[in-house]
Every structure is written in structure tokens, then in C-alpha cells.
């Protein structure tokens, strides 16, 4: 296979630079290329004006093998990308009859009247070709010149994504510009910070000089990517190195690849035909929502109760009022009782609960912000543990959700292979262990 | 005020270029600068390698007045931004004792063991200064050289955002590099698409030649920004034009500025000492979570029930099984009953409910994907309405939540000033109106 082509993405749009909308083009295009073994080398976001677009295009075109632009192909007078880039390439714009027919058909199909400025979209550089747009009026443009490829795509994601997947990726592959899959091995881990993870894996990598290691923390996991830019290690050898890492990581190993904690939990539950219910307070629905982000969730996720007041805990989960009075709504005891209560009420095998202080709300609890208890009800027992997170309200919520998911994942892994991971999921050194063990004695109502 | 400085943002991170995470740094920094009257001129996303970072930094530094970099300040060996940029500036890296002390304090505070590689984060360019990071170990770096400013910030958003708001923006303002506030007036609307909104406001803008109008759709709202780049209209005059727009918009006007639908709902409820409870199925906790994203939510938000199975609707909300059997779980009747049931069980004044099909899960309901019913219980009655959205699972979930929030907002506005907005919130032309009116007769259990 030839060396990876250098790909640059130019995104135009004022709304991105003033923070009004997220740059989804970068995520989408970067992802689709990475899946085919090509790494996007650069993304540049520039304003909509002709000068910025022209200057950036000339720079990227001089450096890259493939340049992709998004946006600026609309019908209004401020959509100038087409004109500016044709000029930079030294090509005239010509009217494309086929594009015109497609635009007219599109307007007929959606029953809207075409205005004359829409026909601006039928122009393309003279040596370029049209990329069909089945979901909008602006066709894309494909130009090959100077041994390079230019791909111009419209901005709306519902138009861009199908064009990328159905036209652009296959055309690039046909020209031998894409690989068949990723050229790295990714190890997903949970439970260790980035630097602790590096310290733990250091001895493995010391035995394999030249292997490239990249760390990336996100969504409660830290990913480790192994690659061999100089080709010293084959994909099979990289996988062997990754297997060594896995052994060292023990329960902190989540998976190879991209699966989320929720996906892995769902796979475990589905395999065993078991179900889950959730009770949460400070995380407000975030834990519950994690389980409904994929289709088919309703087979294993029964539902959730978001208790934002103590009455709610009492009324919907049947938690004794005296338990809340004695220990407080944010306590190991109430977390365990919430997990057991929601599992019982919704007839689920597993119950996962979070209660805590996400952020400052009133004077009394300000110094307790970030204190969170997680409760876990399983067919084998009930536990709870305390965690504590610094940071903003959003950060505390997200980290509490991640911790709860990771705990449930570890329990499910342990339950499916008790001999492989005999250690209890609450480690010996954890100060919450004694409390948790004591809570093991809690009787299910 | 001097002409706007040219600001470029360099974002480093493999994870952005392969589409693993969204580039939130661009949105955050672009937004915070725009609010202070400065427009980010360019954002460049480059891989983590030293060569890419160095080349891009030299290019941006030669062109811009202010360069901001994010990421690459972590403790691991692939975090190279600090070294590469110091070299490009011709500065040595020196060990900063104060930064070291802060890092040690940080580890103590979170009760984790510091590994030696964490002390790499205490290095800074010799003529630079440290930017405190109260939420993480990596301090930021501030360098002034060649009449330009370099600002280096760590990647995690929960660390970056407070540093940006509490340190960077004030320091830039103190040097006269920012304006005192936005130079535009923003009108937030809901319920109209971008082009319908443009058509509705056209007559207003026709009377004020030269006013610049930008539309931006996001989070269930469409924002209209009015500005006067050539200074023809003063801020007061822009506000008067915006007031004309408000009058024309009626109930579709949400607010001037940036307030979210949830913020406005919370303000209304707080003013009247009223409370809210939520029941949802296909949105999985997303609606509930919207109400817990700000502190103080527990005063007015009582809680939520996420019903991912029919049993859950019956058991937790007391919805008669026969109602679900007769009309289906996704129906106007069940949506209304969910809203009433959750309000009653959680003793809330308002109940808001969503039931629907978010995305394809099995053959029977595939062609009903995107069908959603919203139920609303108020002290004055119970309604429900049907909406239908195209798009992905995530898109349907988000749009259903936005529609529910906007409906509740309209009801609260109407209830607080019935004479100002006498029209019913379900417009005459809405096909769901008759169904909704019929449902008005539903008795509260």
C-alpha cells in the first residue's frame, strides 16, 4: 500500500468561529477517513470571506494531496467558495446541465419554488465533475489537478454525510487513496489517570523500541493507541504488544477498539438476558440517558427514577424515610437502598444508583460539592461506594456517571468469569470497602 | 477602541482529527471572544507531533496578534507543545517552583499519588508566566513577545473554561485587547425555521438599511443577531430595531441574549414558587437532565421518571394498563396521562412528558420512528400534542426535548400575562389541536 496521502480539511463559517455551532464536519470527515486508515492532517476553520478562503485554499493545496472544503456552496451571494477556488486553480466556471436538471428535480420533489439564484449552484470548474446531492440542492464538486484531488462539499450535515459515505469515500478508494482499515491498535482503559497509565505500561513499551504510543482521555476512559509509523511492527505484532498491555492492566482494561462502557454493559446484559434499572439524583438523568443512546436499549434497560427531592426517593423507590433522616439523602446507605429499590420496583436484575452533591446550591452543602455515592444492586449482593470529584457541576455529573458505568462493567466482567478476575471490585485499599461490606448485609425489602 | 486584534487558535489532538471528540475548544473560545467584541480569525487543528505543532505555531505567530493553543500540556511523553513552542520563540524552558507547589497541592487535594512525570508540567518558557489552573495539574502559560501575546491552555474543558474566563479574558481586557461587551443585539426565537423567520422579519429590516442580520439555528432556537459594522446604528438604536422584531414575533420571541429555554422556565417557576416533574420514555433522561444543569434546580425540579418499558409507566406513574392497551404506549392519551401522573406522584404543579419512537429498534415501529407525543399538565388543564421529526435517533431525541421545553415556556409566559398573549399555545392551524382539546377532558386521577 502507498504511504498515506496528506489530507487537509478547510471548513468555512462565521458561526463556527464565534462559537455558535460545533464543527461537526471535522468529527464526521476525520472519523470516516480514520476508519479507512487515513489520518486527517489538518483542519482549518476560516471566515466566509473570499480573501480568507482563497488564501487558505492556496496554502493547503500547495501542501496536501487531498483537500476537502465544506460549506459556501449555497445559493446566496455570500456563498463564494466555488468562485474563489476555481480562480485559485486557474479554471473557468462552466454551467453544468446535469446539475441544473438535478436542482430542478429537487425543487419539484420538495414542492418548493426555485428562485433564479439557485441556478448559481449548477456552476462547476471546467475540468471538475459534479458530486450528486440526493438530500439538497447544492451539488458537490470533484476536481483532479496537479496529481491532487479537491473535494468540495455543502455544509448541511444531512447532505454532507451521505455524499461523503456514498460518493467520496468509494471514489477515493477506487483511486487507491484509502486503506482497508485503521493502522493502529487501540486499547481502551478505565480507572487510571493518563500518567498512572503511562507509568504502568512503561515496562511493556520499553521492550519494543520504536512503537508509537498516544494517550487520549475522554468519556471516562483513557485510550492508548499503538502504531508503528516506520513500519517496524506489523499489525499482528502491534496486537501482540497490545495483548501484553491488556495482561498488565487487569480489570482496568476495557476493550480493544472503540466500544463505550455502555455498549459493553449492554452486550453483557443481552448475552445473559438480564436487565437494568437506574436511580439517580445529582446526575439528573444523565446516567439513564447513557443507556438509551442506542437502539434496542428497551430490551435490557427498564427505566429510571430521577430523584431530585427526598419525597421522590420515598414515594417512588420505597426508601424508608427514617433511613434518609438517619444517614442523609447523600449517603452510602441511601445509595444502596436506591439501587435495590429501583431494581425491585422495575423488576430488573441490576440496579445502579447515584446520589450526591454535583455543585454549589446552598451554603450548607457547598463544601460537600463533588461528594457522590454510587449504589449497585446485583443478583449477588448490594454494594455502595463513595467517590469525590473536583470541578464544575457538569464535570462532577459526568465523572460520577462514568464511575458508575465502570463499576457496573467490572461487576459484569467479574460475574461472567469469576476465575479470571477473582479480586473484589472494591479494592482492598479502598476506604469505602469496609462500609460497603457492612452494607452487604442490607436486606432487600 | 483600537481595531480588533487578529486572534488564531491552534488546537492539538489526534482525537479531534480522527473524529473521536468534538472540538469544544473552538466553540468555547470563539464564543467568549465574540462576547467581548473580538472575532476569532482562524482555528487550526493539528496532530500532536512536534513537527506539525511547530510549523503551525510559526505560521500563526507570524500572522496574528494573539495566538491561543490548547492541549499538549499533559504529563505524558507525547505532550510536546510546551517544548516545541518554547523553541520556536527562542526561549529556554525553566522550572517554576510556584507551579510545582501548585501541582503538589493539587495531588494532595484529590488524594492521588503524584508520579515524577507530573513535574514536567512545572516547566515554562523563561520569559513566560504561569496561568493558575484550580481544576487540574497542568498550569497554563502566558508569554508576551514581539508585541504579541501567546496563551497556552490545557485540553480538558473543565480546566480550560475557568482559566479562560477567570484569567485569560480579564488579562486581555486589562491590556485593552478586548471590547467591553458584545457589539450586537441578539434575539432568541423558537418555533420558526430560519427561512420562515427571515420572511417574517424582512419588513422590519427593510426600514433600516445597512443593519447587518445573521441567523443561527441551535439548541431548538434560532438566534438573530443585529449589528452595525459601519457604525451607522448605535447600540441603543440596534435595541430599538430588536424591539420591533420582538413585537412582530409574538410568542415565538424567547429572549434578548443568551438565556436557554430551561433558564427561562426556571425563572418563571421560581418567581411563582411552583414546581415541575418530568416523565419521559424515548428521550431517556435528556429532558430531566436539562432541568438539573444549573445549581438551585432542586428548589423547583422535583424529579423524573424514565419509562423505558410499559410496566414502568404502570407501576411508577399509575397509568391504567387499559389506557396503554387501548391507545398504545406512544399516544396522545398516554403522553397526557404520564404528565398528569408524574405531577401527581411527585406533587408538582407542572408535569411535562414525552413518549415516542426515537429511532429504529424493531421492524414493527421502523416506519413510526420520529413520532413523538408531548404531554403537559398545568394547574389549568392537561394537553398533549403530536410532533414528528426526521433524522437520527440523537436528532429526534434532542428535537423532542426542545419542543417540550418550548411548549412549557409558552405556557408559563401565557399564564404570567394572559392579557399580553391571549392566543392558545396550540395554534388554530395545528392538526393536533382537536385531539388536544378532546384530551382536555381527561380527568386527573
pLDDT of residue A417: 75
The 10s digit of each residue's pLDDT in B65-99 is: 999 999 888 777 667 888 999 999 999 999 999 99
Interface test with A, best of B54, B107, B161, B292 (most A CBs within 10 A): B292
Q: What is the pLDDT of residue B18?
A: 85
In a domain, B445, yes or no: no
Instruction: Decide if B32 touches A, using CB distance below 8 A.
Output: yes
Q: Domain end: B210, B231, B256, which one? A: B256
Q: Where is pLDDT greater, at A168 or A219?
A: A168
A69-73, A187-191, A423-427, B212-216: range with lowest mean pLDDT = A423-427
Secondary structure in 3-state letters for chain B: CCCCCCEEEEEECHHHHCCCCCCHHHHHHHHHHHHCCCCEEEEEEECCCHHHHHHHHHHHHHHCCEEEEECCCCCCCCCCHHHHHHHHHCCCEEECHHHHHHHHHHHHHHCCCCCHHHHHHHEEECCCEEECCCCCCCCEEEEEECCEEEEEECCCHHHHHHHHHHHHHHHHHHCCCCCCCCCEEEEEECCCCHHHHHHHHHHHHHCCCCCEEEEEEECCEEEEEEECCCCCCCHHHHHHHHHHHHHHHHHHEEEECCCCHHHHHHHHHHHHCCCEEEEECCCCCHHHHHCCCCCCHHHCEEEEEEECCHHHHHHHHCCCHHHHHHHCCCCHHHHHHHHHHHHHHCCCCEEEEEEECCCCCCHHHHHHCCEEEEEEEECCEEEEEEEECCCCHHHHHHHHHHHHHHHHHHHHHHHHCCCCCCCCCCCCCCCHHHHHHHHCCCCCC
Segment 182-211 of chain B within 8 Å of chain A by CB: none
Position B414 pLDDT exceeds 80 = yes
Please indicate whether residue B398 or residue A364 has the higher confidence score (pLDDT): B398
Q: Report the pLDDT value the prediction gives residue B318, as an integer from 0 to 100.
A: 86
pLDDT (tens digit per residue) in B14-43? 889 988 788 999 999 998 998 887 889 999
What is residue B182's predicted lDDT score, i.e. its pLDDT? 59
Do B410 and B360 share a structural domain?
A: yes
Residue B43 belongs to domain with CATH number:
3.40.980.10
Across B407-435, average pLDDT: 62
Is the pLDDT at A308 greater than 90, yes or no?
no
pLDDT (tens digit per residue) in A184-211: 899 999 998 888 999 999 999 999 998 9
Are B213 and B274 part of one and the same domain? Answer: no
Question: Given this model, what pLDDT does residue B181 score?
Answer: 57
In a domain? residue A54? yes
Give the span between the Cα atoms of A160 and B236, in whole angstroms.
Answer: 41
Residue B419 has a pLDDT of 58
Whether the pLDDT of residue B429 is over 60: the answer is no
Is the residue at B335 inside a domain?
Answer: yes
Q: Which of A80-89, A160-169, A177-186, A286-295 has the lowest mean pLDDT?
A: A177-186
User: Is it the case that residue A230 has pLDDT exceeding 60?
Assistant: yes
Q: Which of the residue ranges A149-153, A244-248, B362-366 would you say has the lowest mean pLDDT?
A: B362-366
- Which residues of B fall within a CB distance of 8 Å from A14? 214
Mean pLDDT of B155-166: 91
Residue in chain B nearest A182 by alpha carbon: B18
Residue B143 in domain = yes
Examine residue B444 and state whether it is found in any structural domain, yes or no: no
Q: With respect to residue B343, please indicate whether it lies within any of the assigned structural domains.
A: yes
Q: Are residues A288 and A428 in the same domain?
A: yes
Length of chain B: 445
- Rounded mean pLDDT of B43-71? 94
Domain of B25, in residue numbers: 7-174
Q: What is the pLDDT of residue B303?
A: 94
Place A418 in a pLDDT band, splitting at 50, 70 and 90: low
When pLDDT is averaged across residues A66-74 and rounded to a whole number, the result is: 90
* Same domain (yes/no): B332, B289: yes
Domain boundary among A234, A256, A278: A256
Q: Give yes or no for residue A429 having a pLDDT over 60.
A: no
pLDDT > 70 in chain B, percent: 89
Residue with cell 432542586: B298
Residues B169 and B43 in one domain: yes
- What ipTM was assigned to the predicted interfaces of this complex? 0.73
In a domain, A1, yes or no: no
For residue range B205-252, list pLDDT tens digits in order.
999 998 988 887 777 788 898 988 778 898 899 999 999 999 999 999
The answer to whether residues A164 and A27 belong to one domain is yes
Q: Which CATH number covers residue A365?
A: 3.90.950.20
Asked whether residue A38 falls in the same domain as residue A152, the answer is yes
* CB of A55 less than 8 A from some CB of B: no
Are both B271 and B356 inside the same structural domain?
yes
| Domains contained in chain A, number | 3
Q: Using alpha carbons only, give the angle B32, B33, B38 rounded to the nearest 5 degrees.
A: 155
Contacts of B214 in chain A (CB under 8 A): 14-15
> What is the reported pLDDT for A180?
59
Nearest CA in chain A to B111: A388
Q: What is the pLDDT of residue B420?
A: 47
CATH for A208: 3.30.70.2860
Q: What is the mean pLDDT of residues A349-374?
A: 80
Task: Looking at the structure, tell me whether residues B250 and B271 fall in a common domain.
Answer: no
- B37 vs A41, residue with greater confidence: A41
The Cα–Cα gap between B344 and A315 comes to 11
Average pLDDT over residues A355-364: 69
| Least-confidence region, from A174-183, A381-390, B280-289 | A174-183
> How does A199-208 read in b/e, with b if 16+ C-beta sit within 10 Å?
bbbeebbeeb
CA distance A213 to chain B (A): 8
Q: Which of A111, A144, A174 is the last residue of a domain?
A: A174
Classify burial at B311, counting beta carbons within 10 Å of its beta carbon; exposed 0-12, middle 13-18, buried 19 or more. Answer: middle
Which one is predicted more confidently, A48 or B145?
A: B145
With beta carbons less than 8 A apart as the criterion, state whether A42 and B46 touch.
yes
Pair (A246, A336) in one structural domain: no
Residue with cell 520499553: A206
Mark yes or no for CB contact A45/B43 under 8 Å. Answer: yes
The verdict on B22 touching A (C-beta cutoff 8 Å) is yes
Instruction: Calculate mean pLDDT across residues B251-272.
Output: 93
Q: What is the pLDDT of residue A413?
A: 93
Same domain, B165 and B271: no
B2 located within any domain: no
Q: Among A373, A348, A341, A342, which residue's Cα sits nearest to residue A444?
A: A341
Average pLDDT over residues A357-372: 70
The confidence score (pLDDT) of residue A419 equals: 58
A216 touches chain B (CB under 8 A): yes
State the smallest CA–CA distance between residue A298 and chain B in angstroms: 6
Closest Cα of chain A to B443: distance in Å? 22
Torsion of CA B247, B253, B259, B264, to 10 degrees: 100
Q: What is the mean pLDDT of chain A?
A: 86
**Cα A297 to Cα A290: distance, rounded to the nearest angstrom:** 10
Structure confidence at residue A440 (pLDDT): 41
Residue whose C-alpha cell reads 490548547 in the numeric block: B70
Q: Which residue has the higher pLDDT, B158 or A331?
A: A331
pLDDT score of B360 = 62
CB contact under 8 A, A312 and B292: no
Q: What confidence tens digit (pLDDT) does each residue in B92-147 have? A: 999 999 999 988 888 887 777 788 888 888 999 999 999 999 888 889 999 999 99
Q: What's the CA gap between B178 and A49, in Å, rounded?
A: 23
pLDDT at A137: 81
Do A27 and A117 belong to one domain?
A: yes
Question: Of all residues in chain B, what percent carry a pLDDT higher than 90?
Answer: 54
pLDDT of residue B3: 60
* pLDDT, tens digit, 9 for 90 and up, residues B290-313: 998 777 777 899 999 999 888 788
List of chain B residues whose C-beta atoms are within 8 Å of the C-beta of residue A305: 303-306, 316
Residue A168: pLDDT over 60: yes
Q: A435 pLDDT exceeds 50?
A: no
Q: How confident is the model at residue A438 (pLDDT cuts 50, 70, 90)?
A: very low
**Inter-chain CB proximity A292 and B306 less than 8 Å:** yes
Amino acid at each position: 500500500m502507498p504511504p498515506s496521502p496528506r489530507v487537509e480539511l478547510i471548513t468555512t463559517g462565521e458561526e463556527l468561529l464565534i462559537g455558535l455551532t460545533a464543527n461537526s464536519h471535522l468529527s464526521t470527515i476525520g472519523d470516516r477517513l480514520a476508519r479507512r486508515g487515513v489520518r486527517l492532517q489538518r483542519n482549518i476553520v476560516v471566515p466566509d470571506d473570499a480573501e480568507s478562503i482563497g488564501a487558505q485554499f492556496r496554502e493547503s493545496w500547495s501542501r496536501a494531496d487531498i483537500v476537502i472544503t465544506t460549506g459556501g456552496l449555497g445559493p446566496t451571494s455570500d456563498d463564494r467558495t466555488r468562485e474563489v477556488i476555481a480562480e485559485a486553480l486557474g479554471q473557468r466556471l462552466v454551467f453544468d446541465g446535469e446539475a441544473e436538471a438535478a436542482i430542478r428535480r429537487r425543487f419539484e420533489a420538495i414542492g418548493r419554488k426555485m428562485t433564479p439564484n439557485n441556478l448559481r449552484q449548477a456552476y462547476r470548474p471546467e475540468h471538475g465533475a459534479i458530486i450528486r446531492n440526493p438530500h439538497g440542492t447544492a451539488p458537490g464538486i470533484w476536481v483532479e489537478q496537479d496529481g491532487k484531488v479537491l473535494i468540495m462539499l455543502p455544509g448541511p450535515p444531512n447532505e454532507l454525510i451521505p455524499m461523503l459515505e456514498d460518493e467520496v469515500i468509494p471514489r477515493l478508494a477506487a483511486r487507491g487513496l484509502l486503506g482497508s482499515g485503521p493502522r493502529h491498535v487501540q486499547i481502551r482503559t478505565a480507572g487510571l489517570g493518563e500518567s498512572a497509565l503511562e507509568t504502568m505500561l512503561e515496562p511493556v513499551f520499553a521492550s519494543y523500541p520504536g512503537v508509537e504510543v498516544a494517550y487520549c482521555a475522554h468519556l471516562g476512559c483513557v485510550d492508548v493507541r499503538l502504531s508503528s509509523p516506520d513500519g517496524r511492527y506489523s499489525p499482528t505484532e502491534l496486537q501482540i504488544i497490545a495483548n501484553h498491555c491488556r495482561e498488565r492492566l487487569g480489570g482496568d482494561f476495557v476493550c480493544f477498539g472503540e466500544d463505550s462502557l455502555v455498549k459493553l454493559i449492554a452486550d453483557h446484559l443481552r448475552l445473559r438476558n438480564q436487565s437494568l434499572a437506574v436511580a439517580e439524583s445529582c446526575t439528573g438523568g444523565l446516567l439513564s440517558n447513557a443507556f438509551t443512546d442506542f437502539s434496542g436499549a428497551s430490551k435490557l434497560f427498564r427505566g429510571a427514577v430521577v430523584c431530585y427531592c427526598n419525597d421522590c426517593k420515598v414515594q417512588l423507590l420505597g426508601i424508608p424515610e427514617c433511613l434518609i433522616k438517619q444517614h442523609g439523602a447523600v449517603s452510602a446507605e441511601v445509595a444502596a437502598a436506591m439501587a435495590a429499590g429501583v431494581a425491585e420496583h422495575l423488576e430488573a436484575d441490576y440496579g445502579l444508583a447515584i446520589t450526591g452533591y454535583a455543585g454549589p446550591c446552598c451554603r450548607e452543602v457547598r463544601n460537600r460539592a463533588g461528594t457522590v455515592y454510587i449504589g449497585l444492586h446485583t443478583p449477588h449482593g448490594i454494594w455502595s461506594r463513595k467517590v469525590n470529584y473536583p470541578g464544575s457541576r457538569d464535570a462532577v455529573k459526568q465523572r460520577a456517571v462514568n464511575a458508575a458505568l465502570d463499576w457496573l462493567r467490572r461487576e459484569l466482567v467479574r460475574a461472567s468469569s469469576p476465575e479470571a478476575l477473582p479480586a473484589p471490585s472494591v479494592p482492598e485499599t479502598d476506604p469505602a470497602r469496609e462500609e460497603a461490606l457492612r452494607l452487604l448485609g442490607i436486606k432487600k425489602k
